[in-house]
Structure 1
Amino acid sequence: MERSAERELEILRAIGEGVPLTQRALAERLGVALGLTNLYLKRLAKKGYIKIAEFRKKPAARKRLRYVLTPTGIREKTRLTYEHVAYALNLYRRTRQTLREELHRFPESGLKRVALHGTDEAAELAYLTLKEAGLEPVAVFGTRGGGQFIGLPVRAVTELVPEEYDAVIVATFDRPEPQRAELMRLGVAPDKILTLRRLERAHGDGPAA
């Protein structure tokens, strides 16, 4: 599912909740700039999915905008929701299968020290797949340290010592290249870096012992 479609679905969901909504609040919810949020709203209105109405609580008050889903918008929200669910299920299925294939030989070869780089939904999926393979992550890293994930402290990725791990899984459904490049800058060998999106190693036949 394309990012623009995901954002349109999130906007339609937010408007469908029926709670008064400002563009600024919507931009924060989407995690995008205010100007981009405005463009999305205009595009949805042009498609006939939402109506934008002006109102004032008091005669002297600054005008405010109200967003309402149209019947067409409700149908589109349903369609996008179904598409999103189907996409997510397919993504999870493919990711788990690929990771299973990558990890099945780890116990046989004695490789056990696996670290996760990430703490979101993708990391949860990677953790479950590791458990199925009889493995437990021994460390969790994030862009910044702090908090816990699966019972382990989340450490800043800059603290990672490459020699301590047989493999590092970049746990993200987005493009893994930035995290992969960062790990390589920290000294992690390319053949020790696994990604969920496409588990192709740059060199070698497997993680180094």
Structure 2
Amino acid sequence: MNTNVHNMNNKISKTFSSEKKNLENKINLDLLSAIDNNGKASQRYLSDKLSIALGLTNAYLKKCINKGLIKVKQIPKKRYFYYLTPEGFSEKSRLTFQFLTNSFDFFRQARSECTKIFDNCKKKKYKNLAFVGKGDLLEIAILISKNYSFNIKIIKSTELLNEKNFLHDALVILDLFEPQKIFNNAKNKINQKKILAPNLLRINFKN
């Protein structure tokens, strides 16, 4: 009986620790994403964005700064500007990938966002779409695209893209591993208005 109770307590403890870690990772991911999108954001704005208390926001912000993920510099009017370091960008990508692949809601969210993209493409009378990426998200997009009459081309890399050879109506980024890197490369080679991606990839289109 005591052994069973002990095992149960261990199981509960491990589950609690795992849930706590997942929550902390989610907060860190939301924080890094928010700062990537708006470095001038106040801590109160970040608190509202993360849906956590102001004091807790400050604590997570300090942890990320101490870890070298975020840097801060003072700007006029006693305000601060936050920005991600290279390590911060890497951590954001890692957490995004981890969150998506561990999420039970991943398929539902991916299906919903891909459908939204394809519906918008249909309204704009797009016919030719190029998909770039690898992994489950690409496979889901290919599956859903069969419900539409698009001509789909899968490309492995954006390295050779340019305005002259890109004859598609849009480029859809579907990579779980390096979505921001793919976007940054593609925007320098084709019209950025032609680049689409599900929101779940957390790509900063202003970058």
TM-score (norm 2): 0.43
Larger RCO (CA under 8 A, 6+ residues apart): 2
Select the structure of larger CA radius of gyration.
1
Which one has a larger percent helix, Structure 1 or Structure 2? Answer: 2
TM-score (norm 1): 0.43
